[in-house]
Amino acid sequence: MSRMFGSIRAKATLGATLVVAVALIAAGVAVLLSLRSNLSDQADNEADNAARQVASQIATRTPYEDLDLPDGEEHPVQVVDRDGRVLAVSEDLTAIHGTGVPGVKPVGNPAAERDNEGDDDDPEPGELGEITWHSSGRATVDGEQAEYRFAEVEVTDFRDETVLVYAGAPLDAQHGAVRTAATAMLIGLPVLLLVVGGVTWLVTRRALRPVEGIRAEMAAITASEDLSRRVPEPDAHDEVARLARTTNETLTALEASVERQRRFVADASHELRSPIASLRTQLEVGAAHPELLDVDGAVADTVRLQQLAADLLLLARLDAGERAGDARLDLGALVREEVSQRAGDRVPVTVTAADGIEVDGSRSQLGRVLGNLLDNAQRHARSRISVAVRAEGGFAELTVADDGDGVPPAERERIFERFVRLDDARSRDDGGAGLGLAIARDVARRHGGTLTVGESADGGALFQVRLPSDR
């Protein structure tokens, strides 16, 4: 159960249902309030009309006992004077609450009082006032009680006295309509929510089906460790399709990385095997026959093994994401210092380096780049190697050129791969392990730069390092 409600489909369905429920409840309450208000206004209008009809009769000198009052159940009427005396009520009205005057039995005979005054002139018509008041209340007509909306209107009668006419309009229709609407909403709301929930469940299931396929395939890839497999890509242009494509791109990069790592381990094992085997053989021979020990050869193998181990450790640190450093260096001064410390080079090196060309980075790593490029040039140059440092367009440019045979255009990218030597017949002692140029390019990239190879003016190789120099 917890797994089901923890799924995206269940959360989306529950969320959509809750949102629709809140919206429908708010809309339903608004509709009911509006319906109730409209029906109340309608009842007020009916009460107004009934009160005006009675008030119009009073204003035209109609005696109270002769008033044509509406049916009590439809429109209960009560006429009172300023003193609260009841002058006229609807037939069968036995109780009324909400007008402020509870009486329902007329008192006195205003018509007789008028006759006793001896006024021979016909009285003037009374004055009909405006609706001044509305209220809700109850009235009992013919033994049945009901709720009404009452309206009050003032009118001047034949005695020139102001009386109040109260008339009511029943609220049964209002209550019935509101109850009917509320009942319909209470019945329809769950049904509608079930429909919304079901549709959302089906739509999300269809939308998330590719995600489940991606998950299942990723689980299978993890279990089989077969990085050549790929997740299915939906034939669409939505987020799920982009997720599948990105996942496949990640798998491709991961497969390539793992393959490089495997090749690296295999090549490193192969490269380490030769000097270790040679050193062991020489030491075993020396142990058995000290006079035959080749000390120089053992030292050379040890140095080569040490250099190879250092290269492998540096590559491992670079692959692990070691930061290049942020020290500010004068590239020209670094080149001159590195070249001056090289003793025993077969081919002399000429340096042309401008001052004040600065870059950010690690001095040891950049010195390693120059050293690897010079080692490569020493192996291939005939008689001349030149190093130059200059500034160009916000970059510091370091070039190492020789007059050897150069690098064929088809091989100018392959030489930067690890453990690659173009001359496979060349001895390992002369040619190295094939890591120098790979290390140089990796370091250049870690410093935000590039390392490329082209043809020098002398026909040999021209290695060019470009590093950002503007801060």
For residue 427, the model assigns a pLDDT of 44
How many whole angstroms separate alpha carbon 354 and alpha carbon 216?
Answer: 60
Q: Which CATH code, of 1.10.599.10, 3.40.50.300, 3.40.50.2300, 1.10.287.130, is assigned to 239-319?
A: 1.10.287.130
CATH 1.10.287.130 location in the chain = 239-319
For residue 119, the model assigns a pLDDT of 46
Phi, psi of 388 (to 5 degrees): -135, 145
What is the torsional sign of CA 47, 50, 53, 56? negative
Q: Please report, as a single letter, which amino acid is at residue 63.
A: P
Closest of 304, 384, 296 to residue 345, by C-alpha: 384
List, as one string, the DSSP characters of 202-245: HHHHHHHHHHHHHHHHHHHHHHHT-TT------SS-SHHHHHHH
With a CB cutoff of 8 Å and minimum separation 6, the contacts of 206 are none
**Token digits of residue 220:** 């299978």
For residue 403, the model assigns a pLDDT of 93
Burial classification of residue 148, based on how many CB atoms lie within 10 Å of its CB (0-12 exposed, 13-18 middle, 19 or more buried) = buried
Q: HSE on the CB side for 208, CA within 13 Å?
A: 15
Lookup result for tokens 């002058």: 87
pLDDT digit of tens for each residue in the chain (471 aa)? 444 555 777 888 888 888 888 888 888 888 888 888 888 888 888 888 888 888 888 888 888 888 888 887 788 998 998 888 888 888 888 888 888 888 888 876 554 444 444 444 444 566 677 777 788 888 888 888 888 889 999 888 877 888 899 998 888 878 888 888 888 888 888 888 888 888 888 888 787 788 888 888 888 888 888 888 888 888 877 788 888 889 889 988 888 878 877 777 776 776 677 778 877 887 888 788 787 777 777 787 787 778 777 777 777 777 776 777 778 999 999 999 999 998 888 999 999 998 889 999 889 889 989 999 999 999 999 999 999 999 988 899 999 999 999 999 999 999 998 777 665 434 444 556 678 898 899 899 989 999 999 999 989 999 999 999 875
Cα–Cα distances (Å) from 109 to 161, 377, 403, in that order, read 14, 136, 139
pTM, full prediction: 0.51
How many whole angstroms separate alpha carbon 442 and alpha carbon 190?
Answer: 65
Closest of 65, 43, 77 to residue 166, by C-alpha: 77
DSSP letter for 471, please: -
Q: Convert 51-70 into a string of H (helix), E (strand) and C (coil).
A: HHHHHHHHHCCCCHHHCCCC
Q: Convert 322-366 into a string of H (helix), E (strand) and C (coil).
A: CCCCCEEEEHHHHHHHHHHCCCCCCCCEEEEECCCCEEEECHHHH
**Token digits of residue 12:** 């989306």
Contact (CB, 8 A) for 134 and 148: no
Q: Please report, as a single letter, which amino acid is at residue 243.
A: L
Lookup result for tokens 């780049």: 369
How many whole angstroms separate alpha carbon 460 and alpha carbon 337?
Answer: 25
Q: Which CATH code, of 2.60.40.650, 3.40.50.300, 3.30.565.10, 3.40.50.2300, is assigned to 327-468?
A: 3.30.565.10
How many whole angstroms separate alpha carbon 201 and alpha carbon 328?
Answer: 60
**Token digits of residue 359:** 């870059």
How many whole angstroms separate alpha carbon 431 and alpha carbon 421?
Answer: 7
How many whole angstroms separate alpha carbon 332 and alpha carbon 359?
Answer: 10
List, as one string, the DSSP characters of 281-320: HHHHHHHH-GGG--HHHHHHHHHHHHHHHHHHHHHHHHHT
Element (H, E) at 22: helix 8-59
Helix axes 363-380, 436-446, angle to 10 degrees: 150
With a CB cutoff of 8 Å and minimum separation 6, the contacts of 141 are 72, 73, 76, 90, 92, 93, 94
CATH 3.30.565.10 location in the chain = 327-468
**Token digits of residue 10:** 């269940």
For residue 339, the model assigns a pLDDT of 92
